[in-house]
Amino acid sequence: MQIKNKQKKVSAEYLDGTKVKVGIVLTRWNSDITDKLLENALEALKKSKVNSRNIRVAHVSGAVEIPFALHKLAKSREFDFLVALGCVIKGDTPHFDYVCKMAQEGALKVMIEDNIPVGFGVLTVNNLEQTKERIHVGGEAALAALELALLK
């Protein structure tokens, strides 16, 4: 059986977030970029009718710290879904690969083991210019997690 999705992207206006609570983990590393990711996420949540009083933002140092913060927020049982926002820009060493892997696998582990939707809005880019093209990912990650939370 094949199920066809009528829309490729979820639209904020079609999601009713009036009753949900969201925890957002935001990195301070590359804050000029991550602040814009957060801005886009908050705008998407607002369009989905999520009350600003139901949004908590937890700041962490960098992408490696994201999974721990997600896990702590999940364990609190206060939230219907979580969103991870960060930015890792590739340098000349393999450090980039390890950081990205830890953030991505850690977020996945929280989603599966803590049974909570996690929107993954961590940019992994080669250079600063690529961040400008992907700044919308903050909003997309928030909407993807909200959509999953509404499945429950």
Candidate list 59, 71, 95, 136, residue with the active-site label: 95
Q: How far apart are CA 86 and CA 28, in angstroms?
A: 8
Concerning whether 59 is annotated as a catalytic residue, the answer is no
Q: CB–CB of 88/122 below 8 Å?
A: yes
93 φ/ψ sector (left φ>0, alpha ψ -120 to 50, else beta):
beta
DSSP string covering 27-86, please?
ESTTHHHHHHHHHHHHHHHHHTT--GGGEEEEEESSGGGHHHHHHHHHHHT--SEEEEEE
Residue 97 is given by DSSP the state H
Q: How far apart are CA 32 and CA 7, in angstroms?
A: 32
Q: How far apart are CA 105 and CA 118, in angstroms?
A: 12
Instruction: Just list the catalytic residues.
Output: 95
